Structure 1
């Protein structure tokens, strides 16, 4: 007979804190934490991946030093034009937006740097800057923006306060260096493709106002976008251990959004500058600034969704149906398994949401399950709880895929006829293993087993049921991680 859980002390209802020691609800983390593994340790990174950021940083730094030295020695060509683009790049770097996955982007700065790399004639007159000056201007603009928070202390008024607020929201220095190195190399690539052809007179056969010239610019801009996506995927893999195909897929999926706006704005500025001169910079960058406002509104919507998910995930703990921290531990284990199996950032975000709310259906129970261990219930009861939880989630405004994943949590991998159920979402199979693993660990600790013995017992129990109740791929992924899911309690 199930026993009713007694009153829980107030301290036990606190939201579990991650390894950093700060409370971080899903609203502040739209994507799963890439820096944290299920056992709370460092992420599993591929061998030799740490050399990738070092090589890219060294290449970007060397390129910038050479570019600044060469530009200073020869003197900048058309200094007024260079100063105008440098100022716009610096301002654009100060006005950033945060994309899903806690990735910062400076659309106006990136578009201005791309436009300068693709700049041909200016108000009908040819320009004479080359590849190295493009790199020097782009790098100087980024460095000026990086120094802006320190300079803001001497600036009174609203502008100084805005820069100081930006400093407080900045990501880690490591991420900023990755972004700066990647952008400098991408701009250098675009300039290396376009500027020699333009300055060498090979594009004279293409009229600057004709469609062929526009097509050529579009091709160069597209190649630059692919270069940037490839570098970003390589850095993402090196930092998080995510497989390169999944990381590259994430970057390519983001291109139709803000990436396409950056490329289109850079092309428009470079083309319009040939007719109206430097007035093209503020005129054609204004729509991109409005697009940033839309992205900020979308971020506010994501924050509201995260708050809803955090509330639902905590409801079962407050009501005494699940142990404190169970949902967070299952979500951390599920995200670690998802990264191990090659899921991308968007899939990991939905996976985390579903894992946090996987026990919402328990609120329909008259008597709580001891320790909230639904994995120890009969299969029919598990499926009923999963369906009820899915119905609750559908009414909260959470993406429909999250409700679908929760609804299929308790479905076995094998159909009654013995065949494999390929319609079962991978995310549901991952959460099922993560939830069962945490339930088994909690039960083992309740019997007084040591932590290593409990982890071994839980992994062996999952292996005995693989192929029937649990996906063999997911179980083996957990075994590769050492079965070191986050400890209960």
Structure 2
């Protein structure tokens, strides 16, 4: 797997080469280049956050791609080449990342910038040498054939962009590369396809109407971006509602402070280790945060909130009651379904694996029991590695019956890499 740092260094080296070449030889059609720089910078300023905390600047990305694929401009041939395309994309991106007041760009913004530069360089390498050498005229490619050629280049560019995004996402989160790539390819059906299509159409239309192609096609993309921004706001509100509900059991004294958050952190770490995608991880986190909501129906709190130490029928009753509460909150129905099953054993009475039990329910049950056992170990004076080892061994005694062996082994692989928030003495 390509290291995260290698991707960033490759982007930095490419940008340095592009700036050096532009400084030594000058810009081809500098006025056109500056217009593209300005629009890319504006697009960078109005970026949007997509599911999985991925930052994207749809307008900036589409316009940068359009410049990489720019052939004739209002009937006249362009001659900017690969490195100038990278220089323009880099200058626009850097200008858009400048903040007032000054501040250091976050990791997500730096990842997005590196990804854009390498993607633009890839697209320009596929197109510009063939166009500038006249090879496209000798084929010949005109009319629908030229559009088909650009479509092919755009499709390959989309695959390159998805691969880079998956590499960067894996480097930041530790998610499996194949799972991250699957998420990125799925995202192409949404804003990704709009970015690629807009960039390709701008480059095509610029041959007839010139720079007027920029506002003509950027406006619909801006409206689409506004829709994504509203959807992101809805997701944020849902997340805040779930966090508030999750704290209800803590405020009422039914569970220890921070228990729901620790269980959610552990569950998400296990989900990534087991290859769950971005949407599955989001639903898993929601269910893990609300897994104890059924305890509010109890007359007397469970000592220490440790439901994992209760008889199984009582655990199942609490889970079903919690599921009914969740079903009435407007949270995605998968969350209530996962909570309803989280106390069910992973094996049927005949010893066979219960394939109907959701993987999220299996994960949350292990994560919840792990935190309950860590709390119990802490009460016995075991902390740090000793407490983790004690909890893991107790879970292993019940694997294959109460707990899914795959999840238990995933927890063992996490080891010291995972430390849930809320254990000041390093118990987690």
Q: TM-score range with shorter-chain normalisation? A: over 0.9
Alignment match, 1:470: 403
Shift of 1:68: 2.2
Alignment match, 2:57: 106
* Runs of 5+ unmatched residues, structure 2: none
Alignment match, 1:400: 333
Shift of 1:206: 4.8
In structure 1, what is the Cα distance between the partners aligned to 2:195 and 2:352?
48
1:313–1:360: 8 Å Cα contact kept in structure 2?
yes
In structure 1, what is the Cα distance between the partners aligned to 2:387 and 2:205?
67
Shift of 1:451: 4.8
Pick one of 60, 64, 89 that aligns with 2:15: 64
Alignment match, 1:157: none
Instruction: Count residues with an aligned counterpart.
Output: 421
Shift of 1:445: 2.7
Alignment match, 1:231: 164
Task: Give deviations 1:66-90, integer Å, cap 9, x for gaps.
Answer: 2222233333222222121111111
2:196 is the counterpart of 1:263:
yes
Q: Secondary structure at the match of 2:189?
A: helix
1:438–1:485: 8 Å Cα contact kept in structure 2?
no
Alignment match, 1:126: 77
> TM-score of the superposition, structure 2-length normalised?
0.93
2:69–2:123: 8 Å Cα contact kept in structure 1?
yes
Give 1 or 2: higher helix fraction. 2
Shift of 1:319: 1.3
In structure 2, what is the Cα distance between the partners aligned to 1:236 and 1:328?
23
Task: Give deviations 1:3-50, integer Å, cap 9, x for gaps.
Answer: xxxxxxxxxxxxxxxxxxxxxxxxxxxxxxxxxxxxxxxxxxxxxx7x
Alignment match, 2:151: 218
1:111–1:263: 8 Å Cα contact kept in structure 2?
yes
Alignment match, 1:309: 242
1:442–1:488: 8 Å Cα contact kept in structure 2?
no
Q: Secondary structure at the match of 1:481?
A: helix
Stretch deviating more after TM superposition (463-472 or 119-128):
119-128
Shift of 1:146: 2.6
In structure 1, what is the Cα distance between the partners aligned to 2:383 and 2:198?
60
1:438–1:488: 8 Å Cα contact kept in structure 2?
no
Q: Matches of residues 138-153 of structure 1 in structure 2 within 5 Å?
A: 138-147=89-98, 149=99, 152=100
Distance 1:129 1:311, change over 3 A: same
Task: Give deviations 1:345-381, integer Å, cap 9, x for gaps.
Answer: 2222211111000001111112221111111111111
Q: Secondary structure at the match of 2:49?
A: strand
Alignment match, 1:421: 354
Over the aligned positions, Cα root-mean-square deviation in angstroms equals: 2.0
1:229–1:252: 8 Å Cα contact kept in structure 2?
yes
2:81–2:128: 8 Å Cα contact kept in structure 1?
yes
Shift of 1:391: 1.5
In structure 2, what is the Cα distance between the partners aligned to 1:482 and 1:86?
47
* Runs of 5+ unmatched residues, structure 1: 1-48, 153-163
In structure 1, what is the Cα distance between the partners aligned to 2:255 and 2:111?
41
> TM-score of the superposition, structure 1-length normalised?
0.82
Distance 1:482 1:135, change over 3 A: closer
In structure 1, what is the Cα distance between the partners aligned to 2:136 and 2:337?
54
Alignment match, 1:42: none
* Higher RCO (CA 8 Å, separation ≥ 6 residues): 1
Q: Matches of residues 6-25 of structure 1 in structure 2 within 5 Å?
A: none
In structure 2, what is the Cα distance between the partners aligned to 1:368 and 1:66?
65
In structure 1, what is the Cα distance between the partners aligned to 2:322 and 2:20?
63
Q: Matches of residues 324-339 of structure 1 in structure 2 within 5 Å?
A: 324-339=257-272
Q: Name segments (4+ residues, structure 1) moved above 6 Å.
A: none
Shift of 1:447: 3.7
Q: Secondary structure at the match of 2:349?
A: coil
2:368 is the counterpart of 1:435:
yes
2:83 is the counterpart of 1:83:
no
Task: Give deviations 1:101-149, integer Å, cap 9, x for gaps.
Answer: 22211111100000011111112222222111111111111122233x2
Q: Secondary structure at the match of 2:135?
A: coil
2:97–2:105: 8 Å Cα contact kept in structure 1?
no
1:433–1:475: 8 Å Cα contact kept in structure 2?
yes
In structure 2, what is the Cα distance between the partners aligned to 1:327 and 1:246?
26
Alignment match, 2:221: 288
2:254 is the counterpart of 1:321:
yes
